[in-house]
Chain A
Amino acid sequence: MTSRNIIPQVLIFIFYLLLQVFFVRQLVFFNYSFCFAYIATILLLPFETTRLQLVILGFVAGIFVDSFYNTIGANAAAATLIAYLRPSIITLLTPQRGYDERQTLTMRSMGLSWFLSYIGLLAFIHHFVLFMLEASNWGLFVPVLIKTLASVLFTSVVIVIMQLFRND
C-alpha cells in the first residue's frame, strides 16, 4: 500500500463492511442464497499488499462482521483463510502473458473473466468454510453445498455490480 492511495483504500474497506452489516445482511433469496460482499474488502486490496497485511485485515473484517451476525469466529476464520490464500490464487490465475505492471485490481483493468474466476474461487472457499463451520455437522454437507453455490453466485453478482459503479 503506498501512501498515495491509502485514504481511498481505507474508505473502501470501511464502506464494504458497513454495506455488509447494514444492507446486504438482510438480503436472502429462497433461504439459501446469502450475500457476503464484505469479502471484497480483502479481495480488492491492491496487488502490492503483503500477505501479513492481508491476513491481519482479513481477521479484523471477519471479527467485525461476526459481531453483527452473532457467529463469533466463523467469519473471522473464513476471511483470514481467504486473505492468506489470495496471493496464491492470484499466482494461479496468471494469464499466459503474465500480469502487466500497470494493472490494478479492478474489473475494468483485469477483464471480466479473470475477475469472475478470481472472485468466484475465493468466495467459494470463504462461503464453504463459513457454512460448514456453522453447520458443524457433515450430515448437512449437501444443504451446505447448495447454500455455498447459491451464495457464491449472489456475492459475485453484488461485487461485480459494485465494480460497475467505480469511476476510474
Chain B
Amino acid sequence: MYKLFQFISKQRAFIMFVLLEVLSLWFFYSYNNYPNAVLFNTTNFYIAQALKTSNSIKAYSRLSEVNDTLALENQRLREALMRLQAAQLVQPKVNYKADSMVAARFQPVVAKVLDLSTNQFNNYITIDKGTADGLAPGMGVISSSGVVGKIKSCSQHLSIVISILHTEYTMSAKVRRNNEIGSVKWDGKNPELVEMTDVSRYKQVVVRDTIVTSDFNYVFPPDITIGYVTKVGVKKDMTFHDIQVRLATNFNSLSYVYVIKNKLEKELKELEEQPLNNVPSKK
C-alpha cells in the first residue's frame, strides 16, 4: 500500500496529465454533455457580455457594409413584391389556394451576430436571441443574402448556430432552374465554397445556376438562396455531378441574421410519425 502511494506521489504529474487529457477529449467528443452545453461556450453569460462589449466597438466599422446589404435586400424584396402583385392580376387556372396557416408558417426573428468564425473545420455563430424570444434548437438561420445555418443550442437570451461551414452539416438543396434535388455540404477547406452532391450526372447543371433550399425541408422556407454554381464536374464513380457552389452569404461580414420559426413544424412531425404506428404489423 505504501509503495502504491509512493508511486502515485512520484508520478502525480503524469497521472494528472492523463486525467486532464481524458477529460478534455471527453468534453470534445460528447457534444451534448452538461459542461459543454451550459458552461464552456459563448452562451455563457460572462463570455457573452465580454463579446458584446468588444463587438460594440467593432460594429461601427461595419455599418456601411451592413447598410449596403440591407439596401440590396430591400431592392430584392421590392422586386419580388412587384412580381407577386403582377401575378395576382392573372388568375391561375387551377383553383388552388394555400391555407393561410400554411402560407404564413414561417416567421422570421431578427438577431444580431455576437461572434462568428469561418476558419475552423466546424464553425459556429453566436447570436443575441434565445428561448425568451421563442427560439429553439433546430431552427433555420438565414441572412439578407442567403442561408447561414441552423440553431444548435439556446440559452435564455443567446443561441449558438451551426454554420453551413461545418463539416458534419448537410443541407437539402435544389437547382432553381430545373428543380434538381441534391445536398450541400462543406468540405472544410475554403470558407467561400461548398460542394453539392447527389445530383445525377444525366441532369443538366451549368455554371452560374442558382442553388436554393429545397421544398422538402422543415428548417428553411423553400427557395432561399444557398449559392451559385462555379464549377461542374463528374465524380469518380461517374454517376453523380461534382458541383462547386459559391456561397451567397458572406460570412466574414455577417452582422444581422433572421431566425426562421416554423409554426407548423410540430404538427408536421406528428403527422409524419402517425402512419408508422397505425400500419398493421404482419405476424
Hey, which bits of chain A sit against chain B, CB under 8 A?
21-22, 28, 31, 34, 50-52, 54-56, 58-59, 62-63, 66-74, 76-77, 80-81, 83-84, 131, 133-137, 140, 143
Contacts and interface: CB of A to CB of B under 8 A. Distances in A.
B95 to A, nearest CB: 51
B217 interface: no
Given A31-B191, A62-B24, A73-B26, 6 more contacts: A22-B50, A31-B119, A56-B16, A59-B20, A73-B27, A143-B189
Given A80-B24, A134-B121, A143 B13 contact: no
B41 A81 contact: no
A22 B49 CA distance: 12
A133 B20 contact: no
Interface of B: 12-14, 16-17, 20-21, 23-29, 35-36, 39-42, 44, 47, 50-51, 54, 115, 117-122, 124, 126, 160, 167, 188-191
A133 B40 contact: no
Contacts of A71: 28, 120, 122
A51 B41 contact: no
B27 A72 contact: yes
Given A55-B20, A77-B21, A81-B21, A72 B28 contact: yes
A84 B190 CA distance: 34
A67 B26 CA distance: 15
B41 A56 contact: no
Given A51-B13, A55-B13, A72 B47 contact: no
Contacts of B16: 52, 55-56
Contacts of B42: 67-68, 70
B177 to A, nearest CB: 30
A67 B21 contact: no
A137 B167 contact: yes
B120 A67 contact: no
A55 B36 CA distance: 21
12 contacts: A21-B50, A31-B119, A66-B27, A67-B39, A67-B42, A70-B124, A71-B122, A73-B24, A76-B27, A76-B28, A77-B25, A81-B21
Contacts of A59: 20, 23-24
Contact of B47 (A55, A62, A68, A135): A68
A150 to B, nearest CB: 11
B44 A31 contact: no
A21 B42 CA distance: 11
